[in-house]
């Protein structure tokens, strides 16, 4: 990503940035032919909001996630949600509607749609906002 794109994105107002991410996610998800499954798109954005760059000088997390296959990304989602449930078991019943598909429905087409949606959110700068 060019420096000017990063600078432009980093200087946006948070509300404007959030709208750009939401629009990118909406477009990507609606292109996936799974538009009735909004829970999956929401779970992707929610999971991405739970992670961040640990080492500011390390490899770019967004690039690493974009480089994953759909199946590998589904595994990453399982790891994120497992970590949250392990650290906050009291939230499991609240998170279940968002995360159940990644544990119970490992369908390749759904995984590809989720990955396409994640790539759109990452390209729109979700990790910089959340």
Mean of pLDDT over the chain: 88
Contacts of 74 (CB under 8 A, 6+ apart): 102, 106, 111, 114, 115
Spans of all domains in the chain: 3-129
pLDDT in tens, 69-124: 999 999 999 999 999 999 999 999 999 999 999 999 778 999 999 999 999 999 99
Mean pLDDT along residues 28-44? 88
The yes-or-no verdict on residue 58 having pLDDT over 90 is no
**What is the model's pTM?**
0.84
């Amino acid at each position: 990503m060019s420096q000017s794109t990063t600078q432009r994105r980093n200087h946006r107002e948070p509300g404007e940035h959030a709208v750009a991410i939401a629009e990118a996610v909406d477009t990507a998800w609606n292109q996936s032919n799974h538009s009735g499954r909004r829970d999956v798109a929401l779970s992707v954005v929610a999971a991405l909001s739970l992670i961040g760059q640990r080492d500011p000088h390390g490899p770019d997390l967004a690039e690493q996630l974009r480089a994953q296959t759909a199946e590998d990304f589904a595994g990453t989602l399982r790891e994120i949600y497992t970590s949250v449930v392990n650290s906050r078991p009291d939230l499991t019943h609240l998170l279940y509607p968002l995360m159940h598909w990644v544990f119970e429905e490992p369908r390749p087409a759904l995984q590809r749609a989720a990955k396409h949606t994640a790539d759109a959110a990452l390209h729109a700068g979700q990790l910089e906002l959340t």
